[in-house]
Structure 1
């Protein structure tokens, strides 16, 4: 781990260990202290793997990350295996108390899911440090994957290993850790169909999201997602901007004109039928969403926004979790290197991310979007619409005894109301677990609201890491 001593960032050395010691006030101070120290040591190793699934150049790093996880499980006596053939490797690990002599007969089975793949990251994007060398200040740890999802899943791994050692684990446990979540988990449906007997469980436990403010939460659902490339072509080649400027089409200009017509002045999507079939939001859900305190001023300060768009009809949490959107996530065209090429670009590639909600059908939305593009672009612009990956929205049944148990524990530990939150992100595995395995899914976000997954300086609050261990211990123990 890089040593940041002497700057705003510090390494996890003995001085920092003493700092942690002063701030731990949980169910067992010395136990918690040991767990936190071990956690940082292992997470530092885990983060160092550049397990970037959106970029195929990092396939070896993904394999190394899977090997590291399997070895960690095997070193602690769990039956672990690496499954190939469904995309990046899938790590399965199982603890059966009957086999280990701890008497697991009659215990329910908990399937713990996580993912070890991450999004791209480079220090040139504005990180304060190498994103694959974990660092910290006195409040947070930083690194790609500390919140999404390496840092959250490692809390459960270490908790289970500790409870096994103390013979206090209250469940038969299966870990399923995949490496394709950031690209929509395209091979998981086929994998689950083939391994559903091995994955048979009473419920699945997942932590891959963030809380609201400082309030404990249980996720009630996720928006769906669809990533699309839209390629515009106005000529066979770039041409001299002096010789032809002003009399020939410019691919960037055409992209700009198209994108400007996708949204109205209230930031609503103008694609016809885009909001068609959006599920009616129940009044009690709207009331509960309004009770969630969203500190928009802090959000603006954290990320440098100058405003937060507000809908006339819906509150912030409802907008994010239960309303659809289209977001332009990238535009590639022309010369962006050093100096000026002074050429009119012939092509423009636009990357778009669709976030959809329950009852919206991705294929119908894509058809409507294609029709809008065709109707908007002039005849002299050729285009190609490429759907790269997609995942359906999900909603969770919240009436199981495991949800009630989680809510009771969170409320007791945090002494605050527990909110059922609809997340704006996407988690493909939720629908697959429900539809294929018939397994109830319990979604417990552990990370902080401003953890900035996928962004610069992804982080995890130290205080919430400790609280995550508290919850995991209380939930999984006998």
Structure 2
């Protein structure tokens, strides 16, 4: 890399950080209607900065919810086109009293920038704006064609972006989709995610009698909704941690030897994890390590089970109903609707006698998966290596960002997940922050990547 870029970013560091603080001070909380004006203000701020950076055709597109921003710079004839995706909306800040400094009054301390959105995703997205700006100011041109598509609804599951993508495929067409909304494995250990789990969720209710009953008068003689629910839920897994639902694993790809080797390179310390969580043992599907279980295997988890008397003291009743909430994380080619259908069939077949089942399917999202051997991903790993001194490992993340799969499938382009956050930066929690070491190295890495492709 041209050494001028390091000098350039050092020279403009305070200016760039002050700009980012301005953006972080705007409470663009997409989930709360009272912040609709703030979300629009954050969109306007970004559009202004994209124009100032030298991007062309900067537009703010209204949707049924919050705005989508697009921009481009398309003067590298015959060169690849990169679409940069990110989001400018942020999570709510509750509980407010746990913040050491106000969430929308950005504060730098101990080499970290604290504010809501600092790492998810304003801080990471800002790196791309400034990297492109730096190349244009230094070179008066870009080595590749660049497009931006930035939304304000990722934190509320991107309800309006899929329709926009379908309607503007040609406008957004690219050879790769560049996203910074994930993390390094640890300080100095960069990673590129090649998979994000999909999901589906459901709620179920079991009803027995038409009223709660006295456990002395009726106990042992009538069905108990809680007993029935416990029996039904226990049928969902076997003793080896494998989901017992017929058809649940349809579409699940076996882990390749190469991918398992990448997981092993993480050198994850399961003993340390147990100690940090005060656990005697971990849990999961036999034959897989912790990082394989949470990154590359599907799951069925109970998120809530409730019914009967839950107040203080004792109330000796046989409850007439019980409830459960379930979320599945999905991988590879699993179809969320097919999984929901398989679970519904299993639940109906295993509902205990005397109980009536009500089943409500909820969320659905496909998993994202990309081949790490793709040249666009290999170049990204090399770019990390050139700047961090350590080539990025290829990982699979247990979380779900449904819009990534939609972007990749709609535009028929690989998503390159170059994250610069760290796992402990409290995204979605009080005291969210961004380590400024990765702010500095992230700028250089993005420049390196754009030049290398």
Count of aligned residue pairs for this structure pair: 445
Please name the residue that 2:269 is paired with.
295
Q: What is residue 28 of structure 1 aligned with on the other side?
A: 6
**What pairs up with 1:79-118 in 2 under 5 angstroms?**
79-85=57-63, 87-96=65-74, 98=75, 104-118=76-90
Determine whether 1:169 maps to 2:142. yes
CA gap of 1:90–1:235, structure 2 versus 1, over 3 A, is farther
Using the alignment, how far apart are the partners of 1:402 and 1:362 within structure 2? 28
Query: Contact 1:168–1:477 (CA<8 Å) still a contact in 2?
Result: no
Find the residue that maps to 2:192 and give its secondary structure. strand
What's the secondary structure of 1:358's corresponding residue?
A: coil
Gap change, CA 1:385 and 1:90, over 3 Å in 2: farther
| 1:387 counterpart residue number | 361
Q: Distance in 2 between matches of 1:131 and 1:252?
A: 42
Secondary structure of 1:197's match? helix
1:42 counterpart residue number: 20
Structure 2 residue 175 is the aligned partner of structure 1 residue 202: yes
**Do the aligned partners of residues 283 and 259 (structure 1) sit closer, same or farther apart at CA in structure 2, a change above 3 Å counting?**
same
Q: Could you tell me how far apart the structure 2 residues matched to 1:304 and 1:233 are?
A: 37
2:90 & 2:204 partners in 1: Cα distance? 24
Residue 281 (structure 1) shift: 1.6
SS of 1:198's equivalent in the other structure is helix
- Partner Cα separation in structure 2 for residue 144 and residue 203 of structure 1: 29
Q: Does 1:159 align with 2:131?
A: yes
CA contact (8 A) 1:224 1:355 kept: yes
Match of 2:185 among 209, 212, 237: 212
Q: Give yes or no for contact 2:382–2:391 (8 Å, CA) kept in 1.
A: no
Distance 1:277 1:75, change over 3 A: closer
**2:171 counterpart SS class:** coil
* Residues 368 and 118 of structure 1, relative CA distance in 2, 3 Å threshold: farther
Contact 2:231/2:352 (<8 A) preserved? no
Deviating more after overlay: 197-206 vs 224-233: 224-233
Change (3 A) 1:310 1:335: closer
Q: Which of 48, 54, 61 is matched with 1:71 structurally?
A: 48
TM-score, with structure 2 as normaliser: 0.81
1:362 aligns with 2:336: yes
CA distance in 2, matches of 1:29, 1:302: 41
Cα distance change of structure 1 residues 282 and 71 upon mapping to structure 2, 3 Å threshold: same
- Write the deviation string for residues 200-246 of structure 1: whole angstroms up to 9, x where unpaired: 22322112212223422222222212233335556778x79999996
* Match in the other structure for 1:190: 163
Mapped to 2, the partners of 1:267 and 1:124 lie a distance apart of 38
Distance 1:397 1:66, change over 3 A: same
Q: 1:227 aligns with which of 173, 193, 201?
A: 201
Change (3 A) 1:27 1:75: closer
Question: What is the deviation of 1:466?
Answer: 2.3
Counterpart Cα distance in 1 of 2:35 and 2:379: 40
Any conservation in 2 of the 1:49–1:64 contact (CA below 8 Å)? no
Q: CA deviation at 1:354?
A: 1.4
SS of structure 1 residue aligned to 2:329: strand
Separation in 1 of the partners of 2:230 and 2:98? 26
Contact 1:115 1:181 in 2 (8 A): yes
2:388 to 391, 404, 414: 414
Native 8 Å contact 2:103 2:431 kept in 1? yes
Specify the SS of the correspondent of 2:172.
coil
Distance 2:296 2:42 in 1: 34
Question: For 1:165 and 1:202, how far apart are their aligned partners in 2?
Answer: 24
Give the Cα–Cα distance (whole angstroms) in 2 for the partners of residues 217 and 74 of structure 1.
Answer: 31
Instruction: Tell me the alpha carbon deviations over residues 48-87 of structure 1, each in whole angstroms, 9 at most, x when there is no partner.
Output: 424244x666545443433332233245454322223365
Task: Please give the alpha-carbon distance, in whole angstroms, between the structure 1 residues aligned to 2:114 and 2:205.
Answer: 36
Which stretches in structure 1 are left out of the alignment for 5+ residues? 1-24, 99-103
**Which of residues 255, 273, 278 is equivalent to 1:281?**
255
Q: Is the 8 A contact 1:39 1:154 kept in 2?
A: no
Match of 2:420 among 430, 435, 446: 446
2:294 corresponds to:
320
Q: Do 1:47 and 1:150's aligned partners in 2 also have CA atoms closer than 8 Å?
A: no
Q: Distance in 2 between matches of 1:60 and 1:335?
A: 44
Partner of 2:327: 353
- Judged with a 3 Å threshold, the aligned counterparts in structure 2 of structure 1 residues 56 and 335 are, in CA distance, closer, same or farther, namely farther
Specify which of 429, 437, 446 is matched with residue 411 of structure 2: 437
Q: Distance in 2 between matches of 1:278 and 1:289?
A: 18
Instruction: Find the aligned partners of 1:234 and 1:280 in 2 and give their Cα distance.
Output: 42
For residues 356 and 22 of structure 2, what CA distance do their matches in structure 1 show?
Answer: 48
- Is the partner of 1:28 in helix, strand or coil? helix
